[in-house]
Amino acid sequence: MTGDFEYRTRPGGFMLSAIAFAGLSLLTAFLWHAIPGFVLLLLIPALLICLWQMVVTPIYGMRLSRDAWHIFDGPDDRSVPTKSIAHVRIKDRDGAADCTIVTNDGEEIAVPDLAVPAPMVLIREATDRGVPVRQD
């Protein structure tokens, strides 16, 4: 095992939003002296929406360590101790894979599609931590 494994992603593109915010900021500063009404009416709300999108967009992913598996599911982040995981069930389908963590007491924790890395990567990292993987 090579230490902790971390996979994070977010819907949309943060860099694209940051570039749009920078471009709108420069356009706002340039046009402020010429037509301040246009800037107040259109560009300031556009800047606020762009900033809101960068701040509010959730981050999905997984962080696997020796002690616990952390599932980043936007506002519903979870942490599952590695000792309590009975197995990981992967249902491979076209494109993405459905992943479910089954605990020792039978509880099934569904991992969101955006939080799951490639199936082979998840299988390798789970088996490196001593967690069996089953295919459904």
Per-residue pLDDT reduced to its tens digit, 78-102: 999 999 999 999 987 766 678 999 9
Q: Which residue is associated with the tokens 């356009």? A: 27
pLDDT of res. 40? 84
Q: Do 39 and 11 share a structural domain?
A: yes
Phi, psi dihedral angles at 77 (to 5 degrees) = -65, 140
Closest of 124, 110, 20, 12 to residue 58, by C-alpha: 12
Number of domains present in the structure of the chain? 2
Q: Is 18 among the domain residues?
A: yes
- Whether the CB-CB separation of 51 and 84 falls below 8 Å is answered with no
Structure tokens at 63: 């962080």
The tokens 């996979």 sit on which residue?
7
On whether residue 1 sits in a domain, the answer given is: no
Angle between helices 14-31 and 44-56 (to 10 degrees): 160
Intervals of the chain under pLDDT 70? 1-2, 94-96
Sheet architecture: strand order including 85-92:
108-111, 97-103, 85-92, 133-135
Residue 94 included in any domain? yes
Domain span holding position 106: 60-135
What is the C-alpha separation between 119 and 93, in angstroms, rounded? 10
Is 70 found in the same domain as 20?
no
Same domain as 109, residue 48: no
- Tell whether 72 and 87 lie within a shared domain: yes
Residue 59 is given by DSSP the state -
